[in-house]
Structure 1
């Protein structure tokens, strides 16, 4: 470990976080960018003096527990977390649960695309971020945010057709998540619920055919605009998450209906 590299890394991440990124009130304009050291120390449940010594290259070699706390406080991605451990010469333990928090710049991207419905799903198919048009297209995601549960337990608020292939894709992705996070209790409960409640899911799980995400089409019977023919394109991003872009072919009735919903 070079203490200076660790100190520079910690300071850079702290200065690139905003209070709102970690659930703190924004308050008046600050003199310096990012979070204050005492705020990071509080989020990491350690003394301010200990964190200051780490960031000033004066601290002792931190333990894995301390590194995990700092990584959580600074909202590090898995890649950044692994880098933090490498800087200290400590082997990072494997993640025990899927990342269920969205990076702030990804959330900002969602709201820069008002004419496209966009959702972010974690490795268990929970929608962990969405923009207003996605909410209008998919229904109240606060009531049921999990797309796999909606699909296999028939909990979609309105009729969706053309999603048969998604069933195999979802089962394969969930099987992979189960392999990576065998001790994650929310995932285990979801899988038990799907296996017990859906013969289709049980069959797809046993088949375990690999279906990579990509371009899919589906038809939604929307209560306000009627039948919508939609395109779904998936982008895999760090943190074991996926961004789903929902669009309609230009010039179609579905595209015009989406403009109405986005207004």
Structure 2
């Protein structure tokens, strides 16, 4: 691990970004250009002390997961992401493999979608990035452990995830999750990620196992979805799916039609954010400060 080169690369990457580049408000006047250390740490989901030690050449060797988070926080290109991995002595992820790296341009689009919930997910359902309104609508995925950020896994193994939808819509969501994963697994027979997820869900969910035997196949596609938010109520939103990185990373965008009650409620959600009228709770029924 080249600590000196890593520290320099992180400092320069931080200095070239402005708050607006990562969806943050400018705030008070800054003495030096670029993001503050605490801002990068928050974007990467690590402690300020940990990040500071990396910039001071005395930090521990970051894990691959942490390197991916840093690459996303600093809006690194694929080449810059690979360089970051090399500085730590890690082999970068293959360019043609499913990746947790989100391209800077896609993150910029995500930040600009301030009035519509949007998130970047892999074709297997892992949430990679969310804008503020998506976090307000469905909860902050970054607050959960990495394994629990997968939408399909949570739908079948975490009962709290289903509280987000009207009960009568749940069977359709279940079929959609299974049919999408069936298509992904068939398209990547040598990739252990979808196969491992399928095996886990077949063992852990009778519903998933039953639906899997029906062999329905359908990729994630545009649809109308309904959400039950504990503060603003029922939202009926148009869901659009935009492909990126060979189709393996997808920008999932939810919009409300102007003039509808759902549009008014979505605007209200922008104001109230994740606040719940019940003290100490989040939209998915968790406790503040913990993963919902």
TM-score per shorter chain, which class?
0.5 to 0.7
2:142 corresponds to 1:156: no
Closer/same/farther in 2, CA of residues 41 and 260 from structure 1, 3 Å limit: closer
Closer/same/farther in 2, CA of residues 159 and 42 from structure 1, 3 Å limit: closer
Pairwise CA distance, 1:112:
0.9
Whether contact under 8 Å (1:100, 1:128) holds in the other structure is yes
Closer/same/farther in 2, CA of residues 177 and 24 from structure 1, 3 Å limit: farther
1:247 aligns with: 255
1:203 aligns with: 210
Give 5+ residue unaligned stretches, structure 1. Answer: 1-18, 48-67, 79-94
2:159 corresponds to 1:175: no
Whether contact under 8 Å (2:155, 2:161) holds in the other structure is yes
- Superposition TM-score, scaled by structure 2 size: 0.56
Give 5+ residue unaligned stretches, structure 2. Answer: 1-5, 18-75, 272-292
2:111 aligns with: 111
2:240 aligns with: 233
Whether contact under 8 Å (1:248, 1:255) holds in the other structure is yes
Larger radius of gyration: 1
Pairwise CA distance, 1:178:
2.7
- Superposition TM-score, scaled by structure 1 size: 0.62
Structure 2 residue matching 1:24: 3-state secondary structure: helix
Whether contact under 8 Å (1:169, 1:213) holds in the other structure is yes
Structure 1: how far apart are the matches of 2:16 and 2:244?
32
Decide which of 166, 173, 189 is 1:166's aligned counterpart.
Answer: 173
1:147 aligns with: 151
Decide which of 86, 89, 93 is 1:44's aligned counterpart.
Answer: 86
Structure 2: how far apart are the matches of 1:206 and 1:158?
26
